[in-house]
Amino acid sequence: MATSGYQESRELFVRRWGEMGATWGISRTMAEIHALLFTATRPLCTDDVMERLNISRGNASMNLRQLLNWGLIHRVHSRDDRKVYFEAESDVWEMFRVISRERQRREVEPIIETIERCHAMVDKPSKTLGAEEAKQARVYARRLAEMLDFLRMMNTASNLLAKAGKGGIRRVLSILSKAIR
């Protein structure tokens, strides 16, 4: 196949999206598959993905599953054959909502729980500590409390955004831009 500007552009996008994913803690291949499906005009099957990205069946399967788990892509069944096809969420706002909700659930909420536990461990003044150490413990406890406060607020904000949907997010950003300057 001759490389048209279209194909060339798409390849560039897929590669670059993969690199970005990598710096955000998403495996390069998973991000590439996502980019491939996001820029596809029809659902692709596992073999399509394998061929376009030059990856093994196992790798494709694993990463497709992860993308399904994230809710970033969906299964589509064809009438013609018995393969499973995949399709990405194409609305970028919805995509953002899904990602931020999932990261919140998987990574932020667990760290909040940990910090709560850490805070509980130093909450009541201990008799086993010297005066100096007790003072340090209080400073430490206050910082944890501030971090908790912050993370909980982010959690709330994220939930609100998730509820708000596309229109809501746009509205918020517009309010935001006026409210600040």
Least separation, in Å, of the C-beta of 79 and DNA? 9
Residues with Cβ within 8 Å of residue 172, at least 6 apart in sequence: 161, 164
Contact flag: residue 22 with a second copy (CB under 8 A)? yes
Q: Based on the shown chain and the rule CB under 7 A, indicate whether residue 106 belongs to the binding site for DNA.
A: no
109 near a second copy, rule: CB under 8 A: no
103's tokens: 């990261």
Contacts of 57 (CB under 8 A, 6+ apart): 46, 50
- Told to check if 58 binds DNA by CB under 7 A, we report yes
Please tell me whether residue 77 binds a second copy under the rule CB under 8 A: no
In degrees and rounded to multiples of 5, residue 39 shows phi and psi of -95, 5
136 vs 164: CA distance, rounded Å: 42
Query: Is the Cβ of residue 110 or residue 165 nearer to DNA in the bound state?
Result: 110
Asked if residue 152 lies in contact with residue 79, where contact means CB atoms within 8 angstroms, the answer is no
Is residue 167 part of the contact set for a second copy (CB under 8 A)? no
**Angle CA 61–63–69, to nearest 5:** 105
Which spans of this chain sit near a second copy (rule: CB under 8 A)? 2, 4-6, 8-10, 12-13, 16-17, 20, 22-26, 38-39, 41, 90-93, 96, 106-107, 110-111, 114-115, 117-119, 121-122, 126, 128-129, 133, 135-137, 139-140, 143-144, 146-147, 149-150, 153, 156-157, 160-161, 163-164, 168, 170-173, 175-177, 179-181
